[in-house]
Amino acid sequence: MWIDSHCHLDAAEFDVDRDAVIARARAAGVSQIVLPAVEADNFDTVRLLAVRQGFAYALGIHPLYVMRAAEGDLDRLAEALATHHIDPRLVAVGEIGLDFFVPGLDAATQQHFYVEQLKLAQRFGLPVILHVRRSADQLLAGLRRVGFSHGGIAHAFNGSEQQARTFLDLGFKLGFGGTLTFERSLQIRRLAATLPADALVLETDAPDIPPQWLYKTAELRAAGATSRNEPGELPRIAQSLAGLRGWTLEQTAAGTTANALDALQRLRGLIGVSGTG
Residue pair 59/80 in contact (Cβ under 8 Å)? The answer is yes
| Average pLDDT for the chain | 96
Give the pLDDT of residue 218: 75
Residue 275 in any domain: the answer is no
pLDDT value at residue 216: 83
Confidence of residue 272 (pLDDT cuts 50, 70, 90): low
Asked whether residue 276 is domain-assigned, the answer is: no
pLDDT (average), residues 37-42: 98
> Is residue 155 marked as binding?
yes
Backbone angles phi, psi at 83, to 5 degrees: -75, -40
At residue 130, φ and ψ (nearest 5 deg) are -100, 135
Q: What is the pLDDT of residues 133-170, one digit of tens each?
A: 999 999 999 999 999 999 999 999 999 999 999 999 99
Domain membership of residue 72 (yes or no) is: yes
From 38-47, 72-81, 91-100, 221-230, the region with the lowest mean pLDDT: 221-230
Range(s) of the domain holding residue 47: 2-270
- CATH at residue 86: 3.20.20.140
Please list, in sequence order, all residues whose beta carbon lies within 8 angstroms of the beta carbon of residue 178, skipping any fewer than 6 positions away: 204, 205, 209, 210, 211, 212, 214, 229, 233, 237
Separation between Cα atoms, residue 223 and residue 80, nearest integer Å: 42
Number of domains within the chain: 1
Give the C-alpha distances (Å, rounded to integers) separating 82 from 49, 50, 85, 200, 270: 20, 18, 6, 30, 21
User: Per the annotation, does 85 bind a ligand?
Assistant: no
277 lies in some domain: no
Would you say residue 79 lies in a domain? yes
In terms of Cβ atoms closer than 10 Å to its own Cβ (0-12, 13-18, 19+), residue 75 is exposed
3-state secondary structure of 179: helix
Distance CA 249, CA 256 (A): 11
| 146 belongs to a structural domain | yes
Cα–Cα distance measured from residue 64 to residue 204, given in angstroms and rounded to the nearest whole number: 19
What mean pLDDT comes out for the span 179-184? Answer: 97
Q: pLDDT tens digits, residue range 56-79?
A: 999 999 999 999 999 999 999 999
Q: Is 6 annotated as a binding residue?
A: yes
Q: Does residue 276 register a pLDDT over 70?
A: no
- Closest alpha carbon to 74 in 118, 8, 11: 118
What DSSP string runs through 74-124? HHHHHHHHHHHTT-TTEEEEEEEEEESSSTT--HHHHHHHHHHHHHHHHHH
Q: Is the pLDDT of residue 190 over 60?
A: yes
Instruction: Answer whether 252's CB lies under 8 Å from 245's CB.
Output: yes
**What does the pLDDT read at residue 271?**
86
Q: Answer whether residue 210 is part of any domain.
A: yes
Report whether 95 belongs to an annotated binding site: yes
**pTM (global) more than 0.85:** yes
274 falls in which pLDDT band (50, 70, 90)?
very low
